[in-house]
Amino acid sequence: MSRVEQVIAARKAADSGALVGYLPVGFPDLQTSIDAAVALVENGVDIIELGVPYSDPVMDGPVIQKATQAALARGFKLGQTFEAVAAITARVDAPILVMTYFNPVLQYGVERFADDLLAAGGAGLITPDLVADEADDWLTASDRTGLDRVFLAAPSSTDARLELAVAKSRGFVYAVSTMGITGARADVDQAARSLVGRLRTAGATSTCVGVGISTGEQVREVIGYADGAIVGSALVTALADGGVGAVARAAADLAAGTVA
């Protein structure tokens, strides 16, 4: 099993679920984003999802868009992603999945990107705008390097597309809890529970639910039927409003929801 799969399996063995925490690289600046990611792990986050700022973030809601645009305005460069991964992995032992739209990877070079991510200590990629049947170059590069590849599945996906996402994903399958962009919501869409069930029928052994999760109680609800919960906007808001200390407190509150 990959490191991500090992973490999820250990959580499942403990009758719990994994907490995946998202933060963008370079927000509000590079060093603070590194410190904030470290704080996530030190306060109960099991897997880091490190977002690459991008000029056309079609899946991201307003909170994450504002943060990534601020990072770009400060001069973020793609190479800083690997710098951040290396700095974080030097301080905490948690797998880091880089969340990136695929155009930056193509521009950088798929094989080169995979090599540099591996060298930095990264665990793999989450690619929200790349579907498994159009990912041949990335599948080849990730097979060569052993990096995880996390594809998304939505409530609108056909059974055939779910089967493909399951077959090609490694680490886990990212189940999108609701149709639309990211952002904290009062209720996690009931469609997520049905989607996880369909993914299990398609053969998924590790499924994490994201989009809309913002409280420890929602984390507890999600890991009642899924293998992990992914939180982004709530953590980015905490970082924007209160810095690293606020992120640490928010992570601890969310991690409380993983306790069986």
Catalytic residue among 5, 35, 46, 60, which? Answer: 60
Q: Which DSSP category does 170 fall into?
A: B
Report angle CA 93, 220, 99 to the nearest 5 degrees. Answer: 45
Q: Report which of 133, 91, 131, 138 is spatially closest to residue 117, judged by C-alpha positions.
A: 138
Amino acid at site 185: R
Q: Compute the half-sphere exposure of residue 157: CA atoms within 13 Å on the CB side of its CA.
A: 30
Q: Is 1 helix (H, G, I), strand (E, B) or coil?
A: coil
- Distance in angstroms (rounded) separating the CA atoms of residues 91 and 94: 9
Contact between residue 125 and residue 147 where contact means Cβ atoms under 8 Å apart: yes
Per the annotation, the verdict on 60 as an active-site residue is yes
Q: By three-state DSSP, how is residue 23 classified?
A: strand
Contact 58, 246 (CB under 8 A): no
Active-site position among 49, 163, 189, 227: 49
The answer to whether 49 is a known catalytic residue is yes
The residues carrying an active-site annotation are 49, 60
